[in-house]
Amino acid sequence: MEILDRIKSILSILWKVLSTTRVVVANIFFLLVVIILFGVFFTDTEETLRQNSVLVVNPAGALVEQRNAPKPAEALLRKMGRETAKADETKTQDIIDAIRKAATDSNILAMVIDPRDLQGCDTTKLLDIGKAILDFKETGKPVLAHSMVYTQGQYLLASYADTISVNPLGGVMITGFGMYQTYFKGLLDKTRINFHVFRVGDYKTAVEPFVRESMSEEAKEAGREWLGGLWQAYLDEASKNRGVSPSDITSYVENIDTRLAAVGGDAARLAVTAKLVDEIKTSTQFDQLLAGKTGKKVEDLNRVDFQDYLAMSPSGQTASKEVIGIIRARGAILPGKQPENMTGSESIAELFQMARQDPTVLAVVLRLDSPGGSAAASEEIHHEIARTQEAGKPVVVSMGSVAASGAYWIAAGANRIVAAPTTLTGSIGIFAAFPTFEDTAMNLGITTDGIGTTPLADLGNPLRPLSAQSERAIGHLLRFGYDLFIDRVASGRRLPAADVENSAQGRVFLGQEALSRKLVDQLGDLDDALKTAASLAGLTVVNSKELRRAPSSHEKLLQTFFSTAQALFTQQSPAISKMLNMVETQARIFESFADPNHIYARSLECEGSLF
């Protein structure tokens, strides 16, 4: 009994220690959240830009149309001067706005492009940023770029600089564009999952990852044309910026092994001899170069990154009673309310309703950057465009990097469509896809049996096979959806249905080709779309404001709570980060197949491209 009493006493003490520790940790974490909330909402954030400043354009992660709401913990830590994890995405418009403000700011002496944390090569968005950099250079202020190594997206951004320097152990890594999808047929066969696929359109290759182990010739044929067009646009822009020919860059890429051998593996020296960069500099030497270009001492220069610069600079937007409302729709199209990295039908509908009810908004520009998604959700947003037009407010669609399939379904209802030459659009076609697991279950010794009042009573049960009658019914539903898609395009674009059909069947086009097929009205960027909207609304001056749903206080609290730990994490290695991004992308694709009818107007081939 004495031994049992001692054990009981020890366990009691341990339990008290654990309970006390749990309470202390919970209180500390709660106190941290309170401090962050206090810092974000009550601390004075007014900062003044110092003289002799240099704007640093240092995007991190992928370039996007609309970033998820900023995290309060990250914002406070940045304000405190603490290092946080690198962002996984950067809003393109933020970079453009900062560059435009800096161009006329007397405190900004120069611009430094630091692209080391930029991921991917979104040609359309980089061209938009490049246009702003070229305007900045017209003021006579120098633009310099420096990095350890340049990937092809980083290099295109850097190519707009007056002077490009690279670290002695760095180089320029341009690889070309590719379209490589992940195929799951082998996994589905091994796990005996029956993936039922229905599609309309000879070129609607989005379903191939579930029914094939490799890319079909139709997919390769369709991909070669637009992939080659994007690559040529990259070559043309980079070569023009650097004063070399596109063939010079092509030769550099295709003969990289022999060229490296000729310089003893010195990639930095090779980049200089190929005229891709101007100088080889360490970070210290680059600082001295920057000081020389600005006529100041190194210690007198104040570097400010574009996000901090935007935070301390006034918006510069004059109050106006007549504006163009900008609605941004990014990511896969899904039913209901969705976060800002997805296009939710209810979320977008709320913004259109906001535009209709706001007397200062005379027209709307819908900025689309989406590969499509749910057919039903696409039709709902299409309907919101019609309602806005009926309210007397024209709608202009501005296409970003991709506005294909369901996104084009939406765009077809607009008064005007403006696409970039490098926009991926079209993909007029739909498909249905969903799994059943009856063979998987049987292989595990699990079976189902029962009775129903009709032959369709077991429809939707994932452990029951799909009957021939159900397959025929789904086929009819799909044909109706495809015909509705064709009708929406024909009606919106004022084209004969036969002409639309010639551009349909799921084919993807670049903006230039889409213009020749009358699928879009003009080539241009967001600025051009705003001018078009202003013209339709009878405005002589273009003033705009972004329409965005404000998060509730409850959402702000949750956002703060869950962002605290993440903001403190350090950055992963590039290799691990890239692998995690690939896994996350595939997971998001599966997660976004959320149409209640399992019918989709979506271009997965656009999402599987590697730039």
Q: Which of 279, 312, 345 is the last residue of a domain?
A: 312
Tally the domains of the chain.
2
Concerning whether 204 is annotated as a catalytic residue, the answer is: yes
Q: Which of 312, 343, 376 is the last residue of a domain?
A: 312
In a domain, 564, yes or no: no
Beta bridge partners, 146, equal: 165
Which of the following is catalytic: 53, 345, 370, 405? 405
Q: Where is pLDDT greater, at 77 or 87?
A: 87
pLDDT in tens, 465-487: 999 999 999 999 999 999 999 99
Residues 6+ apart with CB under 8 A from 450: 458
Residue range 226-233: mean pLDDT, rounded? 95
pLDDT in tens, 247-289: 999 999 999 999 999 999 999 999 999 999 999 999 999 999 9
Written as one string, the DSSP assignment of 531-550 is HHHHHHTT-SS--EEE--PP
Task: Quote the CA–CA distance of 144 and 322 in Å, as a whole number.
Answer: 39
Same domain, 122 and 146: yes
Q: What is the mean pLDDT of the chain?
A: 85
Same domain, 337 and 303: no
Query: Where is average pLDDT lowest: 34-38, 261-265, 487-491, 517-521?
Result: 34-38
pLDDT tier, 564 (very low <50, low <70, confident <90, very high otherwise): very low
Same domain, 281 and 368: no
Concerning whether 545 is annotated as a catalytic residue, the answer is: no
Which of the following is catalytic: 204, 239, 281, 347? 204
Tell me the pTM: 0.84
pLDDT at residue 433, rounded to an integer: 83
Structural domain that includes position 257: 53-178+216-312
Task: Quote the CA–CA distance of 109 and 123 in Å, as a whole number.
Answer: 28
Same domain, 342 and 457: yes
Q: Residue 398: which CATH number? A: 3.90.226.10
β-strands 53-57, 302-305: how paired? parallel
Same domain, 363 and 420: yes
In a domain, 12, yes or no: no
Q: Where is pLDDT greater, at 87 or 452?
A: 452
Residue range 511-529: mean pLDDT, rounded? 97
Residue range 513-533: mean pLDDT, rounded? 97
Written as one string, the DSSP assignment of 359-412 is TTEEEEEEEEEE-EEEHHHHHHHHHHHHHHHHTT--EEEEEEEEEETHHHHHHT
pLDDT tier, 171 (very low <50, low <70, confident <90, very high otherwise): very high
pLDDT at residue 181, rounded to an integer: 87
Amino acid letter at 173?
Answer: M
In a domain, 566, yes or no: no
- Is the pLDDT at 123 greater than 90? The verdict is yes
pLDDT at residue 576, rounded to an integer: 47
In a domain, 398, yes or no: yes
Which stretch, 33-42, 338-347, 391-400, 435-444, has highest mean pLDDT? 391-400
